[in-house]
Amino acid sequence: MLAYIVRRLISIPFLLLGVASVSFLLSQMTKGDPLAALVPERMMSNPEIVEAVKAEWGLDKPLPVRYVRYLGNLIQGDLGTSFSTRRPVATDIAERLPATLELVIAAMIIGTALGLCLGLLSARFRGSAFDSLARIFALIGSSLPIFWSGLILLYLLSVRIALVPGTGRLPPRVQPPPTHTGLYTIDALIAGDISLFWQALAHLALPAFVLGWAVTGIITRLVRSSLIEGLGQDYARTARAKGAPERVVLIGHALPNAMIPLLTILGFTFAYLITGAVLTEAIFSWPGIGSYAVRAAASLDYPAIGGVTIVGSVAFLLANLLTDIAYAWANPRIKVH
Amino acid sequence: MAELSNALGTAASRTRFVGLRRLVRRLPPTAKVGAAILLFWIVTVLTIHFWPVADPLAMVGRRLQPPSGDHWLGTDALGRDVFSRTLHGSVWSIPIAIVVVAFAVAIGSALGAVAGFFGGWWDAVIMRLVDVTVSFPPILLAMAVAAMLGPGLANASIAMVIVWWPIYARLMRAQVLEVREREHVEAAVAGGAGRVRVLVVHVLPLCWTPTLINATMDFGQVVLLAASLSFIGLGATPPSPEWGSMISEGATRFYNWWIAFGPGMAILSVVLATSFLGDGLRDAFDRRAG
């Protein structure tokens, strides 16, 4: 197993190089002229200005030179400069990453908690009306276009009954807490500002639920099927024979065994979360890297979209690596090729 | 997996028609509902021009009217009929999903078959390409490609084929690796058949079951991703009544919820239908095997 983990670790740099190369090639194959994004239209006729801009952004060098330069910059953590914000992409991303993290972590917590509860109850009352309802709820969550469910829930819960506040991370004109972690809820607690904490939490609740709902389906399905499998095993029969009530068999015996497969679908749900986060942030005006990517894609800001793609891929690769390691660790019988 | 292909092998020796009818009979009711919904949308795509609904691009009523007897799903910001636009939206989404899945299956299966059957360098190069492609989170890769190529549905479709082909390459490679070891293949090789002939005639026909099931399920996901790309402005462009761009028109008008309602339900119906049908197909093939 150790050999397997080492092999996976060795493959990571090569995959990253591949990801970087594809990103670079994509940015070079662009049909739109990046100059158009840099030079105001009326200055396009002035060759001196055009040449100066080309030199400044390295657009005048041949392809291989730009590729080597690109990789060199990347290793130093330089993702280039955004055409639209005129700031380093790495700075932009670092500034917006906590917002995305807060959203994704909250969504993961909601999705896992909801999925576990629904899975547990479905397995306990298998075949009942609740079981069918839970299955439908989970199925709809993973089939809904997230940008639509977000919109409809925003209308129902915010516009119609004002249960939750509108878009954004905080009400307008409210100062965010002093930065420690960048997560507004945590920072507000650190600052001891309880009312700010509730405000931040209220703004977080709906987008996190919308995003969490999307992964609830996967988790519910998995928990339900592995619990039901566990309830048919010998250890469950033994526990019942010794007089344990069904509740204890389920929670004390079957549930711990169901945690292992749950652990191993982390990477799978992470892909859903990234996709969902991009769209959720767009709907809820959430100032994270997802909405940054959407804006960058719409304004043909190649360095920015390339930077987000690379950061997202690194996170994705790490999540998959952790999943594989967890899988190998939890199930040593699996032979990995 | 071995059982699956065996099942398909025996199925192929019966007449195809009887095999198909048996398969349909084995489908659970949910899968039949899914098939019916998909059939509805395909018929809609083909016949929408003859339907007695409003012109999707014309101003047919007052702006931003809630649903009523005249306009079942209300009117949008330009006074266009949302119900009619939702139905017309299928003309964009459904054919695009068919084309994307078809290309992804064709490219992925061809490369996967070559990788699995010829092995060696072919395998190494193709599968590393697969590894790199799946290292990207799907939506970011699609966004990057669509942004580089420029907005538009054709470019968004290319982006989605790039996202989806590796799945089929992996599926097909695994199937080919497995079928390649069968005795009838050995017999064909011993009989002096060329390598390409063995692959095309003796191996590939037994490899399609997992691809078919996956393609059914992916169909809905492609509709979803296409709508997502249009929603963020990288797919269809206004005024075409594409579902994703209709929802993005509704996104700026919270109070006029009906603008986004129809297209959202349409997307949901397709995604649910394909996952019902895909699940049913998988179970049907499994049972036939077992």
3-class SS letters over A51-72: HHHHHHCCCCCCHHHHHHHHHH
Give yes or no for a contact between B264 and A152, defined as CB atoms under 8 angstroms apart. yes
Return the residue in B38, B162, B232, B271 with the most chain A beta carbons within 10 A, the one to mutate for interface testing. B232
Residue A46, in any domain of the structure: no
Residues of chain A with C-beta less than 8 angstroms from the C-beta of B231: 145, 147, 279, 282
pLDDT at B290: 41
Strand, coil or helix: B182 = coil
DSSP state of B71: S
The amino acid occupying position B270 is: V
Nearest to B264 by CA among A253, A51, A5, A148: A148
Q: Which of A22, A297, A306 is nearest residue B132 as measured by Cβ atoms?
A: A22
Over 60: is that where the pLDDT of A229 sits? Answer: yes
Over 80: is that where the pLDDT of A337 sits? Answer: no
Cβ contact, residue pair A309, B136, below 8 Å: yes
Cβ contact, residue pair B228, A159, below 8 Å: no
Give yes or no for a contact between B138 and A275, defined as CB atoms under 8 angstroms apart. yes
For residue A174, give how far its alpha carbon lies from the nearest alpha carbon of chain B (Å).
23
Which of A168-182, A293-307, B7-21, B273-287 comes out lowest in average pLDDT? B7-21
Cβ contact, residue pair B264, A149, below 8 Å: yes
The amino acid occupying position A18 is: G
* CA distance linking residue B33 with residue B18, whole number of Å: 21
H helical segments located in B119-152 = 120-133, 138-149
Cβ contact, residue pair A152, B264, below 8 Å: yes
Strand, coil or helix: A118 = helix
Residue A80, in any domain of the structure: no
Return the residue in B37, B126, B127, B140 with the most chain A beta carbons within 10 A, the one to mutate for interface testing. B140
Q: Which of A18, A30, A139 is nearest residue B132 as measured by Cβ atoms?
A: A18
Residue A271, in any domain of the structure: yes
pLDDT of chain B, 290 residues: tens digit per residue: 444 545 444 444 444 556 677 777 878 888 999 999 999 999 999 998 888 887 888 888 888 888 887 888 888 888 888 899 999 999 999 999 999 999 999 999 999 999 999 989 999 999 999 999 988 988 999 998 888 888 888 989 999 999 999 999 999 999 999 888 888 988 998 888 888 888 988 888 888 888 999 999 899 999 999 999 999 888 887 788 899 999 988 888 878 888 899 999 999 999 999 999 998 888 888 765 54
- pLDDT confidence band for A38 (50 / 70 / 90): low
Strand, coil or helix: A248 = helix
DSSP line for A196-227:
HHHHHHHHHHHHHHHHHHHHHHHHHHHHHHHH
Give yes or no for a contact between B228 and B243, defined as CB atoms under 8 angstroms apart. no
Residue B141, in any domain of the structure: yes
Place of tokens 């699609």: B142
Q: Largest Cα–Cα distance in chain B?
A: 76
pLDDT at B62: 82
Q: What is the total count of domains within chain B?
A: 1
Q: Whole domain around residue A247: which residue ranges?
A: 94-288+320-330
Residue A73, in any domain of the structure: no
User: CATH number of the domain that A131 lies in?
Assistant: 1.10.3720.10
pLDDT at B71: 81
User: CATH number of the domain that B157 lies in?
Assistant: 1.10.3720.10
* CA distance linking residue A85 with residue B279, whole number of Å: 46
Residues of chain A with C-beta less than 8 angstroms from the C-beta of B143: 278, 293-294, 297, 305, 309
The dihedral formed by the CA atoms of A243, A244, A250 and A255, expressed in degrees to the nearest 10: -120
Cβ contact, residue pair A282, B137, below 8 Å: no
pLDDT at B13: 47
Q: Which of B135, B139, B255 is nearest residue A15 as measured by Cβ atoms?
A: B135
* CA distance linking residue A149 with residue B287, whole number of Å: 36
* CA distance linking residue B60 with residue B80, whole number of Å: 6
For B51, what's the count of Cα atoms within 13 Å in the CB-facing half-sphere? Answer: 16
Give yes or no for a contact between B115 and B123, defined as CB atoms under 8 angstroms apart. yes
Cβ contact, residue pair B145, A26, below 8 Å: yes
Cβ contact, residue pair A274, B228, below 8 Å: no
Over 60: is that where the pLDDT of A336 sits? Answer: no
Residue B22, in any domain of the structure: no
Residues of chain B with C-beta less than 8 angstroms from the C-beta of A275: 137-139, 228
pLDDT at B43: 94
- Kindly state whether A75 is in contact with chain B, defined as any CB-CB distance less than 8 angstroms: no
The amino acid occupying position A319 is: A
Residues of chain A with C-beta less than 8 angstroms from the C-beta of B128: 14, 18
Residue B151, in any domain of the structure: yes
Q: What is the total count of domains within chain A?
A: 1
Nearest to A140 by CA among A114, A165, A158, A101: A114
Q: Largest Cα–Cα distance in chain A?
A: 89
Q: Per the structure block, which two tokens stand in for A58?
A: 């390295």
The dihedral formed by the CA atoms of B278, B213, B164 and B175, expressed in degrees to the nearest 10: 160
pLDDT at A114: 93
Give yes or no for a contact between B280 and B103, defined as CB atoms under 8 angstroms apart. no
Q: Which of A32, A139, A148 is nearest residue B264 as measured by Cβ atoms?
A: A148
Cβ contact, residue pair B143, A11, below 8 Å: no
For residue B146, give how far its alpha carbon lies from the nearest alpha carbon of chain A (Å).
8
pLDDT at B195: 86
Cβ contact, residue pair A302, B224, below 8 Å: no
Q: Per the structure block, which two tokens stand in for B240?
A: 């075409």
Cβ contact, residue pair B148, A302, below 8 Å: yes
Cβ contact, residue pair B140, A298, below 8 Å: no
Beta-carbon pairs below 8 A across chains A and B:
144
pLDDT tens digit sequence for A51-108: 877 777 677 778 888 888 888 888 888 888 888 888 899 999 999 999 999 999 999 9
Q: Measure the CA angle with vertex A143, ends A140 and A144; round to 5°.
A: 80
Q: Per the structure block, which two tokens stand in for B52?
A: 């007695």
- Kindly state whether A271 is in contact with chain B, defined as any CB-CB distance less than 8 angstroms: yes
Can you give the pTM of this predicted structure?
0.87
Rounded mean pLDDT, A139-156: 89
- Kindly state whether A77 is in contact with chain B, defined as any CB-CB distance less than 8 angstroms: no
Q: Measure the CA angle with vertex B268, ends B265 and B272; round to 5°.
A: 140
Return the residue in A19, A151, A302 with the most chain B beta carbons within 10 A, the one to mutate for interface testing. A151
- Distances in Å between the Cα of B205 and the Cα atoms of A75, B6, B110 are 47, 11, 13
* CA distance linking residue A226 with residue A211, whole number of Å: 24
For residue B154, give how far its alpha carbon lies from the nearest alpha carbon of chain A (Å).
14
Rounded mean pLDDT, A280-302: 89
Residue A248, in any domain of the structure: yes
Over 90: is that where the pLDDT of A329 sits? Answer: no
Residue B1, in any domain of the structure: no
Q: Measure the CA angle with vertex B126, ends A323 and B132; round to 5°.
A: 40
> Could you tell me which residues come within 8 angstroms of residue A211 by beta carbon, excluding any fewer than 6 positions away?
A103, A104, A107, A110, A111, A146, A273, A276, A277, A280
For residue B78, give how far its alpha carbon lies from the nearest alpha carbon of chain A (Å).
20
Q: Which of A145, A298, A305 is nearest residue B233 as measured by Cβ atoms?
A: A298
What proportion of chain A, given as a percentage, has pLDDT over 70?
A: 93
Residue A29, in any domain of the structure: no
Cβ contact, residue pair A143, B268, below 8 Å: yes
